[in-house]
Structure 1
Amino acid sequence: MTTTPRIAIIGGGPAGLMCARILQQHGTEPTVYDADAAVNSRDPGGTLDLHADAGQIALEDAGLMDAFMALARIEGQAMTRRDHHGSVLAEYIPAEDDTAAPEIDRGQLRTLLFEHLKPGTVRWGHKLLQVTPAGDGTHHLEFANGTRVQADMVIGADGAWSKVRPLLTDAAPQYLGVCFLDVRFDDVDTRHPEIAALVGDGHMFANDNDGRAVIVQRNSNNMVRGYIAFRAKAEWHTEAGVGLADRDAVRAFLLREFSGWSATMRPLLTDNDSDYIPRSFWALPAPLTWSHLPGVTLIGDAAHLMAPFGGHGTNLALLDAAELAHAIAKEDTIDKAITRYEATMFPRSGELATSSNNALRGFFATTSPDAPHLPPDHAQEHKNYMARAAEYRRRQAEADHA
């Protein structure tokens, strides 16, 4: 870049923080704006598996692989697939040297990235109200706290309900017909040994043939977090007359909804130590592209919100961030950088979003007992991650020497 651009990154999640980190390594000083009061001001959610061919590539570029591995859980890659009676259908146990997709808590990843930025990079408590083109490629940004700034480049890293996205496309998230309730089990080995045994060291999938599932995962600090999922309208609780803050009412609903599940599996529905936090599956149309607009682009969920099957969302977000930051460093104008980045991001995210959304629909579809929809083959997935990572680095090396 021939001049030092004023870069505003909207969103202080993993994508926004990763982009800022790599930009700073290249001598550019962006500003990150986030609505949260602080990096740890809200529950960040559960755990993430960072793939060798995406999230880990970004971490390597950012010089943070050692810091990541100090927190990551190799054993967390384990997977158990059960039916709704608790019988084991499939199992994957990672080798001690398997680093294809280690797990890390979402909050740990966000904090790691934040702590490796220069002080003052992130402006907490800045909720974006609107962003307006100035007509010369720059943009005016207005925040709820009264702050107004002008930027040469706006990077929308502001997630599913991005305020930046409408500048580029009228595409909006669409409900995929599956709701889930976020649950948490504390001090699980002592207080919930039956759940600890079902989950093991990693994560467990269980589903029936009528679109119901429980997906739970070991987190750090002897905690299990996960989701009780079922096909329903987004406002199912209103129609059912269930107050989400009333744990007894939600438990009674779940026992009716999952009445065919065995006593072995029911503690996953009823013994949580948290409230039931409602979430639902939404996705942007896929594949999604847009026409170039000077001075604006999107990364992460803002660009390609997809179903969580496959765990591609955060991984792609981190890789988006790294590739955009490198493009800004290498190209002599912002627009060339955006064009370079989007030319790679569009086809990659379109393919993965389409496959992830289709996988979710299949997993929660009604199916016959003889043809259940299974999660992916983890052993093969891990081989694929490593092979794609090697191919990515080979292409990078060729481009660097071209």
Structure 2
Amino acid sequence: MATTPRIAIVGGGPAGLMCARVLQGHGIRPVVYDADTAVDSRDPGGTLDLHADAGQIALEDAGLMDAFLALARVEGQAKSRRDHHGTVLAEFTPAEGDQAAPEIDRLHLRTMLYEHLEPGTVRWGHRLVHVTPAGGGAHRLEFDNGTGTEADLVIGADGAWSRVRPLLTDAVPEYLGVHFLDVRFDDVDTRHPEVAAIVGDGHMFSSDSDGRAVIVQRNSNGVVRGYVAFRAELDWHVTAGVDVTDREAVRAYLLREFSEWSPVMRPLITDNDSDYVQRGFWALPAPLTWDHVPGATLIGDAAHLMAPFGGHGTNLALLDGVELAHAIKKESSLDDAIARYEAEMFPRSGELASDANTALRKFFATASPDAPHLPPDHAREHQDYQARAAEYRRRRAGSDR
């Protein structure tokens, strides 16, 4: 690119920080604007796995694989599936040397990415309130702290409720009819040995035949985090007369709702050290595309918010950031860079998002006893990650010649 463009990345999550990191490696210095007051000013959630065919490719491109592996938990790839009586239905233990999808705490990932940026890259405490075209593909950004700026390219990395997205599409997230309550167990091996035994080193998924599930995962520092999930309207607590800020009231409600669950499994629902944090499953229409808009594009959840089944969201977000940064470096204009990136991102994310949303809806529908939900073959899943990673690299090498 003949001149260095002014690039504003709105959102300092994994997608935005990764994009900034790779742009800086190309000698381009974007500015990242984020509403948070600091990288660790809020709880970004629990743990996630970074797949060999997406998140890890991004980390390699950014020169961050060693930093990632220093924080990641390879043993966290272990998974088990139980019914609501506690009976083990399936187990997966990663083979020695298997690094297809190691786990990392979300805060550790965000902090790692932030610490590998040039000082001053991120402007904390900047919540975007308006973004408007300024002519010639440029845009004017206004923040809630009274400051503003102009950019030749605005990259919306600002998640589910993106303020940048309306520049490109009128699509908005849709509630998928499934609610979950975030729970946390501290010092689990000492204080909650029964929970530690059920969870093991990695991830445990349990469900019944009426659309209820408990998903718990080992995090770092002796913490287990998880979700108590059930079909519900957004205002379920109003209808049920439950004060969601009253831990005991929520606990009593869950004991009624999960009354068929065995005593072995109930500590996962009732013995949490945290309050029950409400979260809902939302998704954008999938596959989602839009017509090219000069000077603006989206990455991560802003572009393809999807259900968490498959764990693709953050992985795609990291790859989005890398691919957009590479396109900006390679193409002769921002318009060509956006077109190149979006042409690859739309099909890559669209099918995965559609499949994830469909899988969630089907899973939380009332299951028929004749058609139980079978656990995935995780060993095959890991093989597929590695095979797709190799194919991705071959394809990229061919396109770079």
Aligned pairs for 1:366-381 (under 5 A) are 366-381=366-381
Where 2:237 maps in the other structure, the secondary structure is helix
- Structure 1 window deviating more from structure 2 (192-201 vs 356-365): it is 356-365
Where 1:374 maps in the other structure, the secondary structure is coil
| Paired residue type of 2:348 | R
The offset of 1:248, in angstroms, is 0.5
The offset of 1:376, in angstroms, is 2.2
Where 2:280 maps in the other structure, the secondary structure is strand
Q: Which residue of 2 aligns with 1:46?
A: 46
Q: Which residue of 1 aligns with 2:32?
A: 32
Task: Tell me if the contact between 2:137 and 2:294 (Cα under 8 Å) persists in the aligned partners.
Answer: yes
Q: Which residue of 1 aligns with 2:198?
A: 198
Where 2:135 maps in the other structure, the secondary structure is coil
- Structure 1 window deviating more from structure 2 (364-373 vs 391-400): it is 364-373
Q: Which residue of 1 aligns with 2:360?
A: 360
| Counterpart-to-counterpart distance in 2, 1:314 and 1:201 | 22
| Counterpart-to-counterpart distance in 1, 2:11 and 2:396 | 28
Q: Which residue of 2 aligns with 1:250?
A: 250
Q: Which residue of 2 aligns with 1:153?
A: 153
Q: Which residue of 1 aligns with 2:101?
A: 101
Where 1:253 maps in the other structure, the secondary structure is helix
| Counterpart-to-counterpart distance in 2, 1:377 and 1:296 | 40
| Counterpart-to-counterpart distance in 2, 1:268 and 1:234 | 23
Q: Which residue of 2 aligns with 1:7?
A: 7
| Paired residue type of 1:9 | I
How many residues align? The count is 401
- Structure 1 window deviating more from structure 2 (120-129 vs 370-379): it is 370-379
Q: Which residue of 1 aligns with 2:140?
A: 140
* TM-score (structure 1 length as normaliser): 0.99
Task: Tell me if the contact between 1:363 and 1:374 (Cα under 8 Å) persists in the aligned partners.
Answer: no
Kindly report the root-mean-square deviation, in angstroms, between the aligned alpha carbons of the 2 structures.
0.6
Aligned pairs for 1:176-195 (under 5 A) are 176-195=176-195
* TM-score (structure 2 length as normaliser): 0.99
Q: Which residue of 2 aligns with 1:348?
A: 348
Unaligned residue ranges in structure 2 (runs of 5+): none
| Counterpart-to-counterpart distance in 2, 1:141 and 1:44 | 25
Where 2:259 maps in the other structure, the secondary structure is coil
Task: Tell me if the contact between 1:362 and 1:373 (Cα under 8 Å) persists in the aligned partners.
Answer: no
| Counterpart-to-counterpart distance in 2, 1:397 and 1:331 | 17
| Counterpart-to-counterpart distance in 2, 1:286 and 1:206 | 27
| Paired residue type of 1:395 | R
Task: Tell me if the contact between 1:140 and 1:149 (Cα under 8 Å) persists in the aligned partners.
Answer: yes
Aligned pairs for 1:300-379 (under 5 A) are 300-379=300-379
The offset of 1:374, in angstroms, is 2.9
| Counterpart-to-counterpart distance in 1, 2:198 and 2:38 | 35
Deviation sequence 1:130-161 (CA, Å, 0-9, x none): 10001211000000001110000000000000
Q: Which runs of structure 1 show a deviation greater than 6 angstroms over 4 or more consecutive aligned residues? A: none
Task: Tell me if the contact between 2:138 and 2:151 (Cα under 8 Å) persists in the aligned partners.
Answer: yes
Task: Tell me if the contact between 2:90 and 2:375 (Cα under 8 Å) persists in the aligned partners.
Answer: no
Task: Tell me if the contact between 1:74 and 1:96 (Cα under 8 Å) persists in the aligned partners.
Answer: no
Deviation sequence 1:216-260 (CA, Å, 0-9, x none): 000000110010000000111111111111011000000000011
- Structure 1 window deviating more from structure 2 (368-377 vs 3-12): it is 368-377
The offset of 1:95, in angstroms, is 1.4
